[in-house]
A and B are shown apart, each in its own frame.
Chain A
């Protein structure tokens, strides 16, 4: 069933909405109209160039399209019926669902769910701990079906937890010597990512190699070499096996996991790259030093955004047009692809440190995809949930969740019902300070929604 829902069919061939061919044709059309080439693609989300088909094939392709559309509608009906658990469906629900799907695919879906978040379900907060994670947990990732969590720590161990049962199911151990047979990592784990189909688990550590593991069995598949220093960020392009990695050697690299090969390198950063994120398009955002860059992979160019006064530590895409970043100057910035400066900035988002009057560093940010809810974490003892208003031009505090320790990673489950927080005694990138009363664990915080 999901075969249909995920992507629309054209002439029987499954093509992602932002494939290379479509980009080229659209660009050529726009280029003929005006000289400027830069952000026209981002503007031109409206222009849907239809594919030309000869008159002889018209009937068959049209008939086929009709048939496929009917099948698609049937599947949506089934899904909605199952979800709402009713046998009758209002026409309105179907149209709403169709509209949502279309907007989602074209990257323009904006759901306003912030007002539904009433409070934290304090009684049901689950804490996941294990013996293998004695040292700080540095990174976290959730599978897209919300079933499993993978967490990596400074011990060099990756642990797989089940979200349904709230317990540990498997580990990738720490192995000191480098043998011919790879059984585990031999240095601190800095980044972890899982593909949308939950097939590949990719882990990056201090040894500058990227290890690919099978997500379900935790068996080693391949080691990708290329980076010269620690790999600080990994992320998959959604619904694909394209991997983006970033490292302390100032390079971002693109890898193809279908071929298990390196594709290309993106040059541009002038300082360590600390974080990388991508959605369905071939746009990758990376942050490091004082600037953020959005890489247009197919056009081989980059857009540069400036605004933070300190190092930017983490960045996340909210939707295809906006992203959020947090830095060690305590600022939380919301950006749009169209503006070189942030749309809105919150200074000292997590308050000031009492001992030295410096703003608390923002250590992790996350956003609920295509909605107006974002979360940020620091070491001040609270994870804050924010609400974006006025099409990301203003922001206000929604909830404060008490969490003690350094928040090294934040992730929403795909339905936004729970927030998964990786808490530790130390910052994920170093040991500037230690919060002794904190515990190295993963907290699963459910929300009470109306």
Chain B
């Protein structure tokens, strides 16, 4: 039996004590049966989680009745009494003033007095990280194919050689080949083919219906 199942069980719920009293010896015997199937390690973990008091009470039984019908005090000067087992809900006051409801007003750092005066040195040192990102992006660009091809064409022109311009259809074919190579590598080729055929068939269907509709609409 898993931990969650135990938690769901009413005896282990910590919310209301009145429910506990309604559980009969039968139910307690049932639980004891279920507990007996657990290993010692699991039992210890469960005990740690729910607390030794609750665990002992369930296994050995509750010693006395817990319910008190509305704690009455002797006179109004006495402190009021409450149960200490009812979980406290978050105060509504807290929720309303939390970050969820705050709307930040737009602030322009050029005109906001809180942002201080502009100082070139501090600005540069603060935003130094931007240069690093720029360099990273440059490196990424160099890995791109079209970019490389453009550069090679440029070089050839500069040198004076005749550059090789690829036709659009050739470029398309090459990209397709590359795509299929990649899919083959990652074993996703089959799925891709299925999807493509599905896509094509659905497209054909829509075209058919559109054609039929236009024929209908023609006024002869």
Residues of A within 8 A of B (CB): 24, 35-40, 250, 254, 256, 259, 261-270, 294-296, 300-305, 337-341
Contact = CB atoms under 8 A, between A and B. Distances in A.
Given A263-B53, A264-B53, A339-B79, A36 B74 contact: yes
Contacts, number: 88
16 contacts: A35-B72, A38-B72, A38-B73, A262-B48, A263-B53, A266-B84, A268-B88, A270-B91, A300-B17, A300-B66, A302-B82, A303-B80, A304-B79, A337-B79, A339-B78, A340-B80
Contact of A338 (B54, B78, B87): B78
A24 B65 CA distance: 11
B182 to A, nearest CB: 42
A149 B66 CA distance: 41
B52 A262 contact: yes
B121 interface: no
Contacts of B68: 37, 301
B78 A261 contact: no
B123 to A, nearest CB: 29
Contact of B77 (A36, A250, A267, A339): A339
A269 B91 CA distance: 11
A237 B80 CA distance: 24
Nearest to A341: B77
Nearest to B93: A270
B74 A300 contact: no
A249 to B, nearest CB: 11
B86 interface: yes
Interface in B22-74: 47-48, 51-54, 63-64, 66, 68, 71-74
Given A37-B68, A37-B71, A38-B72, A304 B51 contact: no
B88 A38 contact: no
Given A35-B72, A263-B53, 7 more contacts: A38-B72, A254-B53, A268-B82, A268-B88, A270-B91, A302-B83, A338-B78
Nearest to B89: A270
B52 A263 contact: yes
A337 B77 CA distance: 11
B110 to A, nearest CB: 32
Contacts of A303: 79-81
A38 B66 contact: no
Contacts of A262: 48, 51-52
B85 interface: yes
Contacts of B79: 39, 294, 303-305, 337-340
A302 B83 CA distance: 6
Contact of A259 (B52, B64, B71): B52
A254 B53 CA distance: 10
A254 to B, nearest CB: 8
B81 to A, nearest CB: 5
A104 to B, nearest CB: 25
Nearest to A266: B84
A301 to B, nearest CB: 5
Nearest to A338: B78
Contacts of A24: 63-64
A269 B82 CA distance: 11
Contacts of B48: 261-262
A11 to B, nearest CB: 21
Contact of A340 (B17, B54, B77): B77
A75 to B, nearest CB: 35
For the complex of A and B, 5 pairs with smallest distance between CB atoms: A340-B79, A303-B79, A264-B53, A302-B84, A266-B84
Contacts of A36: 72-74
Interface string B83-124: 111111001000000000000000000000000000000000
Contact of A304 (B17, B80, B85): B80
Contacts of A269: 88
B84 A295 contact: yes
A274 B81 CA distance: 21
B53 to A, nearest CB: 4
A267 B87 contact: yes
Q: Which of A259, A261, A305 has its CB near the most chain B CB atoms (within 10 A)?
A: A261
A340 B84 contact: no
A35 B85 CA distance: 22
Contacts of B87: 267
A157 to B, nearest CB: 29
Contacts of A302: 81-84
A296 B84 CA distance: 8
Nearest to A291: B79
A392 B15 CA distance: 39
B27 to A, nearest CB: 22
